[in-house]
Structure 1
Amino acid sequence: MEKRGLFLLAALPILAFTLAAHLFYGFRPAEIPGLIAAFLHFEAQSYEEAVLLFQRVPRSLTAIYVGSISATSGVVLQSLVRNPLASPATMGVNAGAAMFLVAGALLFNIGTGLQGAAALAGALAGFLSCVAVARFAGRQNDPRGLSLILSGALVSMLFTGITNALLLSDPARRSDFLSWVIGNINHAYIDRLAMFWWIGAASIAAFIVLARPLTLILFGAEKAASAGVNVPLVSRAAILAAVLGSGSAVAVCGPIGFVGLVVPHIVRPFVGNNLVFALPAAFATGAVICLLADLVARQALHPYVLSTGLVTDLLGGIVFVVIVKRFYLSPSNRETA
């Protein structure tokens, strides 16, 4: 209990410090007071202040949105699927959202608003395709949910291949999506955030409402049902919120991978499996990781700027290997498989 409380108490100050670093790192110390005043009044009177207000602030807001949505969705998916590898990136959600958005933009020339709707439809299609392939492969004989993860990898590779083929087929518009398709937190996407933020907010609200019944489901469907929980309805509503929230994040800045995979493993040792505490911890931790990843992407090769997705993929790839080794390749798990 003490460890959980300390983690939750520290989460907000750490998030505030990380946000400040993301906003002000790189400026000269003498410029900071003027920049803080410009930030408080949201009025730019110099080039540096314009950079802060019209580049740094939009990037920070986007990073917080994408990180928090991806992380909380990962916690929910791992809890319901009961597999430590479950996340929007590994279950076809991100790849499906990206494919549908690119297909809608290139083939049907749809605008930004409809691109968001296409991303939501693609996220749902990616998840349902993952489930369909898993059932075809015999998911009912797979209590550890490994078939879902393998199916998600297959679906993601297929959808990503189609997305790349579409981009190659239209050289005139390829540049519009080259950085977006690998996940790129960019101030230019603030209009997308303004359009789609409410979807993520609705998903977070749904997670908060469903946190207690979802925690009861973790202790067993029969126990949850005996406590009055409508297990099928709660599970489907939570998965739908996770899928649509993740789809909205993709619609904003492309598929930022592995945040939803990594964050649950960071917060779980501190706050446990109770989603009442795990969800706010994941919200803050996901935002911190995305802010740090974008800061690294922005400063690592300065004055050149990397795509944030490259940084999160590097981090996530390392953690993915550790998780597979711990949960699937250790001697004790091989014996119980």
Structure 2
Amino acid sequence: MMERLSASPLFKTVGLALGLVLVAAGLFASMAFGLSTIGLSDIYRAATKYDAASNAQIIVHTARMPRAFTAAAIGACLAVAGALIQGLTRNPLADPSLLGINYGASCLIVFAVTRLSISSLPALTAVSFAGAAIAAIAVYMLGAIGRDGLTPLKIILAGAALSALFSSFTQGMLVLNEQGLSEMMFWLTGSVAGRSLEMLQAVLPVMAAGMIGALWIARHMNVLTMGEHTAQGLGQRTALIKIFAGIIVVALAGSSVAVAGPVGFIGLIVPTLVRPFTGSDYRWIVPYSAVAGALLLLSADIAGRFLIRPEELPVGIMTAIIGTPAFIAIARKGLAQK
């Protein structure tokens, strides 16, 4: 019954509209709940008729509103990046974090901050893209070594090895720079707290371009996931599609890491959650992943404010708490099907 419903365009459209409503509710909840609860009237006035004399509106305008929109944008980008990576590798366990892309971007950012004293966000954004690209290329090259070429298992192993390598380099640089350690540690856990709208606006054009590119390439991903030889037989330039998809993934993951640090597991969990509703059609998987990713990261950020009150858990820790059992469940399901 579920498969029959998921095949209906009307069902998918209604589901996507419902998801957007839930994201809007999540944005309001993110702005309302925290150490102090703020009413909807103050949230509305902070967005439309900001009064700098109101403490509640100051909190919303300067802290919670940027945090909410940053969480939604990053959740959407990481989820779509994960969906594309899983399509490229035909591996449900692939995501920007597990393949080392997030860690590569983080490593290069830490190097730029601690060794080159770079603090400009546009410059750090460019550094983040470079680190993500280096990691992606390295994983692809390592995964392609051997007679059987690129396989899902080899990609995961190469990603795990490079993630450990980049993490070691990052920790080594921070150990040698105590001031850098105190400045970077909270960012390295993955957090949307303390981010400003200006930080989000700096990377928003790249995020938007990545999203548009993902929607454009979705129909080509449908052909590519049929298999290399089948796609080529249908006239697809598979190498070109893979390059474009890789650029889109680097743009989405790199811009997210530049703002929030290495937030993991979103790209792993979300595509798996949406496939029962979308089927294998990437024209639906991409928008559904964007909506579900935004909702998941908003929910994780809100939950992190209450678990150890009055302190907060960074959203990167919350996604790890959610994502680790999900990773085990997906892995067990994959092994059971073999």
Give me the TM-score of the superposition, normalised by structure 1: 0.92
Alignment match of 2:275 (pick from 246, 261, 268): 268
Query: 5 Å matches for 1:167-186?
Result: 167-186=174-193
Aligned twin of 2:156: 149
Find 1:296's aligned residue among 303, 315, 320. Answer: 303
Among 70, 82, 87, the alignment partner of 1:79 is 87
Question: What is the aligned counterpart of 1:48 among 48, 52, 56?
Answer: 56
- Which of 45, 58, 61 is matched with 1:37 structurally? 45
Q: Which residue of 2 aligns with 1:324?
A: 331
Residue pair 1:93, 1:124 contacting (<8 A) in 2 also: yes
Q: 2:114 aligns with which of 106, 112, 120?
A: 106
Contact 1:189 1:252 in 2 (8 A): no
CA distance in 1, matches of 2:65, 2:76: 17
Distance 2:164 2:198 in 1: 29
Question: Residues 232-288 of structure 1: CA distance to partner in whole angstroms, max 9, x if unpaired?
Answer: 111210111112210110011100000001000000111011111111100000000
Secondary structure of 2:328's counterpart equals helix
Q: Distance in 1 between matches of 2:230 and 2:155?
A: 25
- What amino acid does structure 2 have at the position aligned with 1:272? G
Q: Which moved more, 1:76-85 or 1:291-300?
A: 291-300
Q: Which moved more, 1:8-17 or 1:246-255?
A: 8-17
Counterpart residue number, 1:187: 194
The alpha-carbon deviation at position 141 of structure 1 amounts to 5.2
**Cα pair 2:190 2:262 within 8 Å, conserved:** yes
Per the alignment, residue 130 of structure 1 pairs with 139
Give the total of aligned pairs. Answer: 328
8 Å Cα contact 1:90/1:156 also seen in 2: yes
- Aligned partner of 1:229 in structure 2 is 236
| Separation in structure 2 between the aligned mates of residue 34 and residue 59 of structure 1, nearest angstrom | 17
Matched, 1:246 2:246: no
Partner of 2:4: none
How far has the Cα of 1:207 moved from its partner? 0.8
CA distance in 2, matches of 1:105, 1:28: 36
Shift of the 139–118 alpha-carbon distance from structure 1 to 2, 3 Å rule, reads farther
Deviation track 1:106-153 (CA, whole Å, cap 9, x = no partner) reads 1111232221111111101111221222233x373564x111001101
- Shift in Å at residue 227 of structure 1? 4.2
- From 268, 291, 294, the equivalent of 1:287 is 294
Match of 2:72 in 1: 64
Q: Give me the whole-angstrom Cα distance separating, in 1, the residues matched to 2:234 and 2:287.
A: 24
TM-superposed CA distance for 1:161, in Å, is 1.2
Question: 2-side partners of 1:193 and 1:115: how far apart?
Answer: 13
Deviation string 1:17-70 (CA, Å, 9 cap, x unpaired) is 1111111125557x4323322222244331111111111101011101110000
- Would the aligned equivalents of 2:143 and 2:149 in 1 still touch at CA under 8 Å? no
CA distance in 1, matches of 2:144, 2:227: 22
* 2:312 is the counterpart of 1:312: no
Counterpart Cα distance in 2 of 1:318 and 1:293: 15
Q: Which moved more, 1:265-274 or 1:124-133?
A: 124-133
Separation of aligned partners in 1, 2:50 and 2:229: 54
Instruction: Write the distance in 2 (CA, Å) between the matches of 1:186 and 1:312.
Output: 15
Q: Is the 8 A contact 2:264 2:319 kept in 1?
A: yes
Partner residue, 2:170: 163
Secondary structure at the residue paired with 1:236?
A: helix
1:201-220 correspondence to structure 2 within 5 Å: 201-220=208-227
Equivalents in 2 of 1:43, 1:126: separation in Å? 46
For structure 2, list consecutive stretches of 5 or more residues without a partner in the other structure.
1-6
User: CA–CA distance in 2 between the matches of 1:240 and 1:176?
Assistant: 30
**Which structure dedicates a bigger proportion of its chain to helix?**
1
SS of 1:36's partner is helix
Label 1:13 to 1:33 Cα distance change in 2 as closer, same or farther (>3 A): same
